[in-house]
Amino acid sequence: MCEIVSIKELVPTIFEAVVKAPEIARKAKAGEFLIVMPDEKGERIPLTIADFDRDEGTITIVFMTIGTSTYKLAAMKPGDKYFAFVGPLGHASEIKNHGTVIMVAGGVGTAPIYPIARALKEAGNKVISIQGSRSKELLFWEDRLASVSDEHIIMTDDGTAGRKGLVTEPLKEIIEREEVAIVYAIGPVPMMKFSALTTKPFKVKTIVSLNSIMIDATGMCGGCRVNIGTETKFTCVDGPEFDGHLVDWDLLTSRQRTYVKDEKCSFDKYLEDSGVIL
């Protein structure tokens, strides 16, 4: 069992935990994910790796408190051990010198996009990051993301930090002003969808990370299946990253709605109440 080194609330509802997991840290790469269980009765929660330190043998995860299991994760203390902390899983991001890359982070998506941005910067890319949130109080890791970016843009829905508006606005502006080799967009499904729709007319390759609902995370249950072009893929073994221009967003959104039990709560309202950008 992996032991929690530190845990803290970054902003309301979003927590960061540093976990002693030397074997995972030794192999971890940007873009991969973990399956975490707080106890034997908890759900199997997929979390993209937010950071890793090979020398210290630690893995950093960032999660939002939404349901019972994530509230259990938030209630744990340094010295506690997870029932399961499995990884690294999935395919790592393709890291090479593409040229100019744009990293679009929506809400809690800042955490998984950070190690990818860092790796791309180390590979010699010009990194432009766009970080979005509903308001200033929900922004976190701004300094971290800025430290691995040549240009760092903050967008908030209410204008309490950075520019007022959606992340797709500066995304379009940058693509129009200079040649962009690739875009990474990670965050809520609506944000990733509209980021992909923004880049599609410009034919700029756009990668999204889809942490769908998972059960076994080995490709056997089919719970995380997504349609990519004409093919059915499994996020756990084929992803979590896919070509955003090929994702069947309507089907993905429909499947995500299946897991919102309260009929009075729409999927979009569910995301909004969770404090993430729409």
What pLDDT digit, counting tens, does each position of 232-261 carry? 998 888 889 999 999 988 888 877 776 555
The pLDDT value given to residue 172: 96
Which pLDDT score is estimated for 105?
95
Torsion region of 154: left, alpha or beta (phi above 0 gives left; psi -120 to 50 gives alpha): beta
Residue-by-residue DSSP string for 119-169:
HHHHTT-EEEEEEEESSGGG---HHHHHHT-SEEEEEESSSSSSEES-THH
Question: pLDDT tens, 190-238?
Answer: 999 999 999 999 999 999 998 767 777 777 777 788 889 999 998 888 8
Say how far apart CA 30 and CA 13 lie, in whole Å: 24
Burial zone of 10 (CB within 10 Å; 0-12 exposed, 13-18 middle, 19+ buried): middle
Domain segments of the chain as ranges: 7-89
Q: What are the residue ranges in the chain where pLDDT is below 70? A: 1, 212, 258-278
pLDDT at res. 255? 76
Three-class SS state of 17? strand
The pLDDT, as a whole number, for residue 153 is: 97
Q: How far apart are CA 148 and CA 153, in angstroms?
A: 13
* pLDDT score recorded for residue 260: 53
CATH number for the 7-89 domain, one of 3.30.465.10, 2.30.29.30, 2.60.210.10, 2.40.30.10?
A: 2.40.30.10
Do 144 and 121 contact (CB within 8 A), yes or no?
no
**Rounded distance, CA 85 to CA 45, Å?**
10
The confidence score (pLDDT) of residue 273 equals 45
pLDDT value of residue 166: 93
pLDDT of amino acid 15: 95
Q: Given strand 58-64, what is the order of strands in its sheet?
A: 3-11, 14-20, 58-64, 51-53
